[in-house]
Amino acid sequence: MISWLKRTHLLQWLPDGVGLTRMPRREKVLYLTFDDGPDPRYTSALLDLLKIHQVQATFFLIGRQAKLHPELVERVIAEGHQIGNHSYSHPRFRELSLAQKMEEIDRTDQVLADFDGIRHHAVRPPSGAFSFALTLHFARCRRTLTYWSYDSLDYQHRSAVELVDQMRQKPPVAGDVVLMHDDSDCCIEMLRTLLPEWRAAGLGFAALPAQRSGRDA
């Protein structure tokens, strides 16, 4: 199995616009991204925290969850965050055919379009799993696979204190796209500590820029 770091390196070699792993370092900005929401148990608390610290971020939403909790999607958008496509049901993507992958992506695009009117959204495959066939299809459609350059490891069922200590040892740097997850309170506990520290270090925060809309193929 290819590690996320190796997949990141592979995406960096793709033609311009096909793979996004990090942003330019010229501005001291971090790009926080949250996968697997919206979740009625955690999304509101996360949004409250981001609002306190005036942080804009990007939420890669599961289509089924977005359909179940439209009020949370509306709040994400209203508070200035970007939304992206994280499949409809978060299946084991590497086990699906290209047609099945695109059905998950297209179905989620349709759900998200009802909220923001955008036909095609930035796509982050579940677990970061992408294949040559999916990459080639995205290149033909002029769409971007959105990855990350820094993994918070907040999905590893370890304590927030331990994960914060680990991130302090090798912190994200300007331009990093930071992977976090909106399906537990782990990232919330981590960010309560880290956001003030990152601000004190002179870092700002921004949502990822809107991706080009692409075309059907």
What backbone torsions phi and psi does residue 123 show, to the nearest 5 degrees? -120, 130
Q: Are 64 and 88 in contact (CB under 8 A)?
A: yes
d(CA 195, CA 205): 10
**Residue of 35, 36, 39, 151 with catalytic role:** 35
d(CA 33, CA 159): 20
35 counts as catalytic: yes
181 counts as catalytic: yes
**Own/partner pairs, 198-204, CB within 8 angstroms, 24+ separation:** 198/30, 198/171, 199/53, 201/171, 202/28, 203/28, 203/29, 203/30, 203/174, 204/27, 204/28, 204/29, 204/30
d(CA 193, CA 197): 7
What backbone torsions phi and psi does residue 72 show, to the nearest 5 degrees? -75, -40
Pairing label, strands 145-146, 19-20: parallel
Enter the tokens of residue 114. 């009802």
**Residue of 90, 181, 182, 183 with catalytic role:** 181
Known catalytic residues? Answer: 35, 181
